[in-house]
Amino acid sequence: MIPVALCWACRTSNRHDDPHDPLAAATAALAADQAHGDPAIWIGRLPDEAILYRARELAAEGPCGRRLWGVPFAVKDNIDVAGLPTTAGCPAFAYRPEASAPAVQRLLDEGALLLGKTNLDQFATGLVGVRSPFGVPRNVFDPARVPGGSSSGSAVVVAAGIARFALGTDTAGSGRVPAAFGNIVGLKGTIGSVSARGMVPACRSIDTISVFARSVDEALAVQRVIAGYDPEDPYSRPAPFVHLRRAAAAPEPRIGVVDASRLCDPAVAAQYEVAAARFGHVETVDLGPFLRLARLLYEGPWVAERTAALRRMLEMPEALHPITRAILLSGLDRRTVDAFDAFHLLAETRRQASRIFAGIDALLLPTAPFCPTLDELAADGIGPNARLGTYTNFVNLCDLAAIAVPAGFGADGLPVGVTLVGPAWSEGRLAPIADGLHRAATDRAGATQDPLPPPMAADPLGAEEMALFCIGAHMSGLPLNPQVTALGGRLLREALTLPEYRLYALGNRPGLVRQPAGAAIAG
């Protein structure tokens, strides 16, 4: 696997004198935060001196093989960081954890530099980014527009060039919608691939921690650090293969597309069509079944799951945002018999998704059908939010992975995003397609003028492949090689053993014996 640190070491920026220097990176992050001047991004930013002190420590220690050494990052404030309050956007709920969430601890162990905790729609209930007592983070392209949520602060802190990456969460699109509005990448991994311990649940069975970054490769680099099976998380799942390798781009990927003109604003539909036209092999997909399922996320049993996670907060109704309170109260009215209807529909839709992905490599969707204004939200706090989840609500329910990327700008100057969706554990296969779309549309991310870092090279092994060393007649060009190629094997390269082996003929097969005075055997 390609060392993750290379992705950060090669970055170029007019704000970083030395990208290898944690102190320079910290100083640049603090200067960018001051220049941006939006305190609503943060719920708990660390003091300047604390950030600089840790940067000096990291500089003195050196990289020590740590993959994210000195890279500034931020954490959505529904994810625990030891010693800092976790509020989930509700001061009355706040607690101070003794341990960091495993995802956060993995980042710290790899040398990443924490800047602080970011704002969010209260209890991650919303896609707009305005349902917070800590203010509304400013949309970096139009202050009259919503920033997107629920991971509003995490997206904005990356889009504004303050943090190199940030953790968000995603239940219904919270790791993708604000990425679109900030012209950045949002990676929503497979459910259970990242431990959810230390995360305040929204819908516990379908929540996942997500990553915001400037490029697909930077997001994938972070995902490689935070992903891993956690036996203490009952929803954690062991990966069936090394799914986070960056695959080589297929020459002609098979892409599923939809009719975006019916549900999207014209500017979004136009950019989506441009993105779809970049592919030579497209198949139209009927989203009807998925849209029917998506409506149940806010009308079916998953509303009750949100209520179950936060039922003690209903004893303090005055502490809740009015819309959050209304959502949690509505969960008390859900009926078990309706829940079983929803679960059966879910099973049918998941099976339909499996059939669709048997014929395509990825599904291309608009990330959000429009970007509402703050005035629209003030007039109707629920309708625009519901519309924002059109293309995102069903993804977690159907156990799919997704990468949201910038797709260019509309005539109004606002960024438009598209999302590549694939089956569970397909992140590495989606990465080259998503990265290619991003780079074809724009050479930057966020609202800064910094160019994108160069793309990473593909891993020589595909996401579902393992390396096998063949000797004897199974080698390429020899009689038994078809037994390997018939199972999907392909030649990576010629290789030699260490010079410590003897090769023997054992009738119809070869044998190797390790001997100090041996030779290097070709394979």
**Tell me: the pLDDT tens digits for 60-116?**
999 999 999 999 999 999 999 999 999 999 999 999 999 999 999 999 999 999 999
Residue 372 DSSP label: -
Residue 8 has pLDDT above 80, yes or no: no
**pLDDT value at position 20?**
67
pTM, entire model = 0.91
Query: Among 100, 117, 132, 150, which one carries the catalytic annotation?
Result: 150
Phi, psi of 278 (to 5 degrees): -75, -10
> Is residue 188 flagged as an active site residue?
no
SS3 473: helix
> Do 395 and 402 form a contact (C-beta atoms < 8 A)?
yes
Report which of residues 458 and 273 the model is more confident about: 273
Report which of residues 394 and 508 the model is more confident about: 394
Residue 11 has pLDDT above 50, yes or no: no
Q: In this predicted model, what pLDDT tens digit does every residue of 173-204 receive, in sequence order?
A: 999 999 999 999 999 999 999 999 999 999 99
| Least confident interval from 51-55, 114-118, 468-472 | 468-472
Residue 466 has pLDDT above 90, yes or no: no
Residue 10 has pLDDT above 60, yes or no: no
> Do 247 and 458 form a contact (C-beta atoms < 8 A)?
yes
> The dihedral of CA 206, 211, 217, 220: what is its sign?
negative
Q: Which has the closest alpha carbon to 407: 279, 518, 521?
A: 279
Longest dimension (CA), the chain: 83
Q: In this predicted model, what pLDDT tens digit does every residue of 327-379 receive, in sequence order?
A: 999 999 999 999 999 999 999 999 999 999 999 999 999 999 999 999 999 99
Q: Which has the closest alpha carbon to 294: 377, 174, 208, 396?
A: 396
Mean per-residue pLDDT of the chain:
93
What does DSSP say about strands 165-170 and 72-76: parallel, antiparallel, or unpaired?
A: parallel
> Is residue 150 flagged as an active site residue?
yes
Q: In this predicted model, what pLDDT tens digit does every residue of 202-232 receive, in sequence order?
A: 999 999 999 999 999 999 999 999 999 999 9
Q: SS3 helix, strand, coil % of the chain, rounded to 5?
A: 35, 15, 50
Domain with CATH 3.90.1300.10 in the chain: 5-441
Distance between CA 159 and CA 144 in Å, rounded? 16
> Do 269 and 304 form a contact (C-beta atoms < 8 A)?
no
Query: Among 76, 152, 236, 426, which one carries the catalytic annotation?
Result: 76
Residue 279 DSSP label: -
Residue 123 DSSP label: G
Distance between CA 244 and CA 343 in Å, rounded? 30
**pLDDT value at position 3?**
34
Query: What is the percent of the chain where pLDDT is above 90?
Result: 86
Query: Among 152, 174, 215, 236, which one carries the catalytic annotation?
Result: 174
> Do 168 and 124 form a contact (C-beta atoms < 8 A)?
no
Q: In this predicted model, what pLDDT tens digit does every residue of 297-322 receive, in sequence order?
A: 888 899 999 999 999 999 999 999 99
Pick among 3.90.550.10, 3.90.1300.10, 2.40.270.10, 3.90.190.10: CATH of 5-441: 3.90.1300.10
> Is residue 76 flagged as an active site residue?
yes
Phi, psi of 158 (to 5 degrees): -85, -45
**pLDDT value at position 13?**
36
Residue 4 has pLDDT above 60, yes or no: no
For residues 42-62, average pLDDT? 98
**pLDDT value at position 249?**
78
**pLDDT value at position 462?**
76
Distance between CA 485 and CA 505 in Å, rounded? 23
Query: What is the percent of the chain where pLDDT is above 70?
Result: 96
**pLDDT value at position 17?**
38
What does DSSP say about strands 72-76 and 113-118: parallel, antiparallel, or unpaired?
A: parallel
**pLDDT value at position 188?**
98
